[in-house]
């Protein structure tokens, strides 16, 4: 599933094409792409056609395209909200181009400088979605997400925590949250209501870099260990961003259809049985909910809890 770096690469690619563009037309080819939208395909097409887009914003794994308010109707400000699910793609294509494989929705735009372009939402497994949603104020008064200045966020994204690359992310608040969590630190890193944008790949990589066992109870971590974990999460995410994200197959690509290269830099995730780059002992893989955890049992030792 795309995580923060992959979604941010897509957002950054969309931003110059969609900012200040006007929607010429919308074609919904598969209404399964609108599972988060309150209406049907015809409603989505009608509600979006003729509207002007203001840019592209991201929080965690969600991105949205804020819409210019309709003049004089007094309705709430809105945005087109996108979630890529497991295999969703947002691609920029020339107007009138041939349909993409697994194309679900096409949005035709006219940009005042760059001319016409189409945004295509393609999704092989149909777990991703697009929706038009009302914007609500952020509780802390800071910008809703990366790439935007407005202190608002789509209603269906409001429960998602800020991500560690967000300037408004609170390190102190994260440390306080961990003191109340008896669950494993990896489970907390994957909890999008505590910290967003970190999925299985980058949780494994960050914990390996911080030398912390994924099953360590979050509340048992010292302040120094929490700070080290946050620092490594940010370092891993920044490095993945610089390399265009992680691509294991053709399902994750940027807006131009190009793959990311961070898979070549992984130290733990997907390297079962291979030597740990730090100590040379084999990387282990254990079952974790419906996924797997990859770690070095020598470098990332599970601390013993004192007996009651």
Catalytic residues: 2-3, 61, 291
Q: Which residues contact 281 (CB under 8 A, 6 or more apart)?
A: 275, 296, 297, 298, 299
Q: Residue 262, SS3?
A: helix
Residue 102 among known ligand-binding residues = yes
CA angle 217, 223, 227 (to 5 degrees): 95
Smallest CA-to-CA distance from 53 within 36, 66, 70, 35 is with 66
Please check if 51 is assigned to a binding site.
no
Alpha carbons 64 and 67: distance in angstroms, whole number? 9
How many other C-beta atoms lie within 10 A of the C-beta of residue 40?
11
Segment 263-269 long-range contacts (CB within 8 Å, at least 24 positions apart):
265/239, 265/240, 266/201, 266/205, 267/205, 267/208, 267/209, 268/204, 268/205, 268/207, 268/208, 268/294, 268/295, 268/296, 269/200, 269/201, 269/204, 269/205, 269/294
HSE-up of residue 282 (Cα within 13 Å, Cβ side): 5
Is 186 annotated in a binding site? The answer is: no
Closest CA relative to residue 174, chosen from 120, 109, 225, 106: 225
Provide the annotated binding site for DNA.
Answer: 102, 125, 181
Provide the annotated binding site.
Answer: 102, 125, 181
């Amino acid at each position: 599933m795309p995580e923060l770096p992959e979604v941010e690469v897509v957002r950054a690619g969309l931003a110059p094409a969609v900012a200040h563009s006007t929607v010429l037309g919308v074609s919904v080819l598969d209404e399964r792409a609108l599972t988060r939208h309150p209406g049907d395909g015809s409603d989505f097409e009608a509600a979006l056609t003729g509207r002007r887009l203001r840019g592209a914003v991201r929080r965690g794994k969600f991105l949205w395209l804020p819409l210019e308010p309709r003049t004089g109707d007094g309705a709430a400000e809105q945005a087109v909200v996108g979630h890529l699910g497991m295999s969703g793609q947002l691609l920029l294509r020339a107007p009138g181009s041939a349909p993409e494989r697994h194309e679900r929705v096409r949005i035709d735009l006219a940009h005042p400088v760059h001319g016409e372009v189409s945004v295509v939402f393609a999704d092989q497994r149909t777990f991703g979605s697009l929706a038009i949603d009302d914007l609500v104020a952020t509780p802390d008064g800071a910008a809703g997400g990366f790439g935007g200045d407005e202190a608002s966020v789509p209603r269906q994204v409001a429960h998602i925590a800020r991500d560690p690359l967000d300037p408004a992310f609170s390190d102190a608040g994260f440390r306080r949250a961990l003191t109340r969590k008896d669950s494993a630190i990896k489970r907390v890193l994957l909890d999008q209501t505590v910290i967003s944008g970190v999925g299985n790949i980058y949780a494994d990589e960050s914990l390996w870099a911080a030398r912390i066992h994924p099953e360590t109870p979050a509340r048992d971590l010292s302040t120094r260990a929490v700070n080290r974990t946050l620092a490594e999460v940010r370092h891993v995410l920044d490095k993945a961003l610089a390399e265009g994200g992680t691509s294991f197959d053709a399902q994750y690509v940027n807006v131009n259809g190009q793959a990311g290269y961070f898979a070549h830099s992984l130290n733990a995730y997907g390297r079962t049985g291979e030597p740990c780059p730090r100590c040379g002992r084999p990387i282990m893989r254990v079952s974790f909910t419906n996924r797997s955890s990859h770690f070095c049992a020598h470098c990332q030792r599970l601390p013993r809890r004192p007996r009651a």
